[in-house]
Amino acid sequence: MTQNKIIPKVLAIDDSELIHRLLEARLQGEDLELHSATSSEEGLKKARALKPELILLDITMEGMNGFELLDKLKEDIETQNIAVIFISGTDEPMDKVRGLDMGAIDFITKPFDAFELKARVRSALRNQYLMRMLEQRAQLDGLTGLWNRTYFDNRLTQEFSEAKRHRRSLTLALCDIDRFKRLNDQFGHPFGDRVLKHVSQIFSGGRTSDVVCRYGGEEFGLIFPSTNIERGCEVAERLRVAIEAAKWSGNPDLVVTASFGVCDIECLEDDVTPEAMLKLADKMLYKAKQSGRNCVKCAKKKKD
């Protein structure tokens, strides 16, 4: 996991150009990237595309008002966790109650004080950062730093539906370290942990689009979006070779190997679901184990 500092994105949605200019001037120098939309419709599009950390949202706009827009944001899984602060000219307590009850995190009344605005934006971004960190931590494997099983299940479902919708290919590989129990028994559990960490590093050094997860124990799940079975098998084979070639300090003669089962979405027969895909990859992994381990077994395409 890289620790590069990410500049948070803030999207201001307001139909008044005057307010956009004011926000730009007042938030200048703050550690954030400010984007603007002058209508709710444009705001919704930008929120989906940019996935900002924070939205500053006006209530009174032509067409869809701020409340209706917040509803749309909360309905969409991609935008529902974006923090929203209402910035509104209304000072009606019931509007504030309604906004906060709908899931906005704060309410700033226009005209706003520049210092108060900055402090509230900073506070919202701090909380959002902590929330996202907690969410991410809950989906990470503590030992290897890879995504965990929960994340894997969700991501596979998401990638599967994207692949079907856009008629893109999708490949799944399951990998299991060979005779891992024997490694643990012979060299001790700390060494077993070292193997898991090193294999994880090899997997993480692959293509940036690949999703690498610790599926459980010594088993890993690798999702290759927009990748067909031929290319997926090449990637799996390259990873298998890299694991086999790894040197283990203190045990120079030791060779650790791994087996892979690979399938893509086009290999599925009648049951075209993420569960069926996982089952097929598992079946191919079993075949690899049956074939003497340290190999990659790929499913055949349905048409073949």
Partner 1 sequence: MKQEVVLQIRNGRWERLELGMNFKEPEDQNKGKPILSDFLDDESMAKIIQDFLNEIPHRIETIESHFDSGNKEQLCRIVHQLKGAGSGYGFKIITTNAQALEKKIRLAEDAWQKTAIKARENLVAILYRVYAGRNISGQA
Interacting residues toward partner 1 by CB under 8 A: 15-16, 18-19, 21-22, 24-26, 28-29, 60, 62, 88-89, 110-112, 114
Q: For residue 275, what are its two tokens?
A: 């569960």
Measured CA to CA in angstroms, residue 79 lies from 126, 161, 230, 283 at distances of 18, 18, 35, 37
Least Cβ distance, residue 116 to partner 1 (angstroms):
12
Q: What is the DSSP letter of 139?
A: T
Strands ordered across the beta sheet of 33-37: 33-37, 9-13, 54-57, 83-88, 106-109
Task: Show the 3-state SS of 140-152.
Answer: ECCCCCCECHHHH
Amino acid at 212: V
Least Cβ distance, residue 18 to partner 1 (angstroms):
4
- The C-alpha atoms of residue 98 and residue 116 are separated, in whole angstroms, by 22
Phi, psi of 268 (to 5 degrees): -80, 140
Residues 6+ apart with CB under 8 A from 145: 1, 200
Q: Which is nearer to partner 1, 22 or 202 (CB)?
A: 22
Measured CA to CA in angstroms, residue 231 lies from 217, 237, 274, 278 at distances of 27, 10, 20, 18
Least Cβ distance, residue 114 to partner 1 (angstroms):
8
Alpha helices in 27-179 (DSSP H): 40-50, 66-75, 93-101, 114-137, 149-165
Least Cβ distance, residue 24 to partner 1 (angstroms):
8
Q: For residue 255, what are its two tokens?
A: 């060779």
**Catalytically annotated residues:** 218
Q: Which is nearer to partner 1, 58 or 218 (CB)?
A: 58
